[in-house]
Amino acid sequence: EHSTERVTVALDPYDTPAKAKIFNEKYNEIGFLPVLMVITNDSDQAISLADVKPEYVTQDRTKMQPASEDDLARRISRPSARTAPSPLPFPTRKVKGGMRHEIRDEIHNSRFAAMAVEPHTTQAGFLFFDISGISAPLAGAHFYLTGVRDANDKELMYFDVSLDDYL
């Protein structure tokens, strides 16, 4: 919370099966951690999120940016070519995989995409971080948010949220 600027950032990791039930896709099973980010602006002027930079930093100081919609689509679709020999004399390889339209819409509609937060309002959405290969992604982790600007285009002090406190 930045009490002087009256802006608050809150995070809620969706790391449990009970929380993850809101999604059609099981993001945790494919190596992504959905994190709900909520930004509240209690000031009398709008704040800009056009240059915002969210960053997830693990316990061993690995820095990660949120996954793009394309990153999520690639992991979900998991395309694989059929390698069984074809009875036809010419080579054919059909790539199986793809992403259902409802999953594509879910990703598009749930992602944090706000460019500003009007006075006395809140914006929220999900950021998806690739945590594949990390055994305890929240232990000792931090979330940094920079690039939040006030109505005078002055950058606010960065936000530092300890995810270890969540545990």
| pLDDT tens digits along 121-130 | 999 999 999 9
Other CB atoms within 10 Å distance of the CB of residue 81: 9
| pLDDT tens digits along 1-43 | 999 899 999 999 999 999 999 999 999 989 999 999 999 999 9
Q: How confident is the model at residue 82 (pLDDT cuts 50, 70, 90)?
A: very low
Q: Are 127 and 38 in contact (CB under 8 A)?
A: no
Helix, strand and coil percent figures for the chain, each rounded to 5? 15, 35, 50
What does the alpha-carbon distance between residue 51 and residue 37 come to, in Å, rounded to a whole number?
A: 16
Provide mean pLDDT across the span 39-49. Answer: 96
What does the alpha-carbon distance between residue 50 and residue 114 come to, in Å, rounded to a whole number?
A: 8
The pTM (predicted TM-score) of the whole model is 0.83
Query: Phi and psi (nearest 5°) for 28?
Result: -60, -35
Above 90 in pLDDT, residue 85? no
Above 90 in pLDDT, residue 160? yes
Query: Phi and psi (nearest 5°) for 31?
Result: 95, 20
Above 60 in pLDDT, residue 162? yes
